[in-house]
Amino acid sequence: MKTKFTITLSAVLAVCSTAFSVEEKSLDGSRPNIILMMADDLGYGDTGFNGNTIIKTQHLDRMAQDGVKLTHFYAGNSVCSPTRGTCLTGRHHHRYGIWTANKGHLPKQEITLARMLKEQGYATGHLGTLDKVISAKDANRKPEANFAPPWQRDYDRSFVTESAVNTWNPGSGSRSKDNPFYDDGKDSWPILAGKTDQHDKAIPFVRGKGVSLVKGRFKLRLPKGKLYDLSKDWSEQNDVAAAHPERVELMTKEATALVESFKKSHSGADYNDPAYVPVDKWGSPLGVK
């Protein structure tokens, strides 16, 4: 079973071009990946697929071409917080008290797109801006009462900040003050600010039977066992596995353990539901059966 991943991203508005072609893509027995993107201040005519010839939006244009383009719709509000709530729930934001930006929070009782997709076996994620994460900006925001981070709202993965920052340098500008990024609930600001140069956990990538693991400056590609020093070799041309046998062994064990945990999750172990049966067979990356 291929991993399905839905992302709510406060970066670019592409709801109208998202590949929601469920009927079309389910004809062959597969389910679509769903990417929902939202942006402040993006005009209807700012994208290529709506006729703009100056601003280059080729990736969004491709999504519109390959997916479904919706041309008649309304935003829930004129500002970010209530618009996100309305889009995620399908309900007017006044029903759960998000009157305007930075007010209220999304109650856990609300049924969201993320929750519904998880019930269908999807993995979910939220990347970008999300109000009421962990606020130190203003006591008037009532951070304790309005605490509603993505990891408590049906998202398996999240990389979020509470309000807009410069994406090219999150540590610059006045809006960066008391506005850290959280990676699954952990403050990733030391990495973004250059106070540390690596994550404390590896980053796995799975494609077909192969798995790549990035840890620190090294990347291991399995099952071939090739190791690259990304700090010196971004194009991955020079295999340095022979010079680092212990590192290869440790990273191989870590990658295998991750795949084993993926298999366990695929079987339904995370759901605490004995009736759950996966639709598709386990894909056996790295030969893990």
Residues 6+ apart with CB under 8 A from 15: 36, 37, 38, 70, 73, 87
User: 274 and 185 in one domain?
Assistant: no
Residue 37 lies in a domain: yes
- Tell me the per-residue pLDDT of 124-166, one tens digit each, with 9 for 90 and over: 998 887 765 555 556 777 777 778 888 888 899 888 887 777 7
Domain final residue, candidates 130, 159, 192: 192
How many of the other CB atoms lie within 10 Å of CB of 66? 10
Instruction: Tell me the CATH number at 283.
Output: 3.30.1120.10
User: 188 and 72 in one domain?
Assistant: yes
Residue 198 lies in a domain: no
Instruction: Tell me the CATH number at 96.
Output: 3.40.720.10
Domain final residue, candidates 173, 192, 211: 192
Q: What is the Cα–Cα distance from 273 to 160, expressed in whole angstroms?
A: 29
Residue 197 lies in a domain: no
- Tell me the per-residue pLDDT of 187-205, one tens digit each, with 9 for 90 and over: 777 777 677 766 667 778 8
Say what the pTM is.
Answer: 0.60
User: 157 and 18 in one domain?
Assistant: yes
Q: What is the Cα–Cα distance from 17 to 47, expressed in whole angstroms?
A: 11
- Tell me the per-residue pLDDT of 52-80, one tens digit each, with 9 for 90 and over: 999 999 999 998 898 888 888 777 888 88
Of the listed ranges 12-16, 94-98, 229-233, 278-282, the one predicted with least confidence: 12-16
Domain that holds residue 146: 5-192
Instruction: Spell out a b/e string for 240-260, using b for 16 or more CB atoms within 10 Å of the CB, else e.
Output: ebeeeeebbeebbebbbebbe
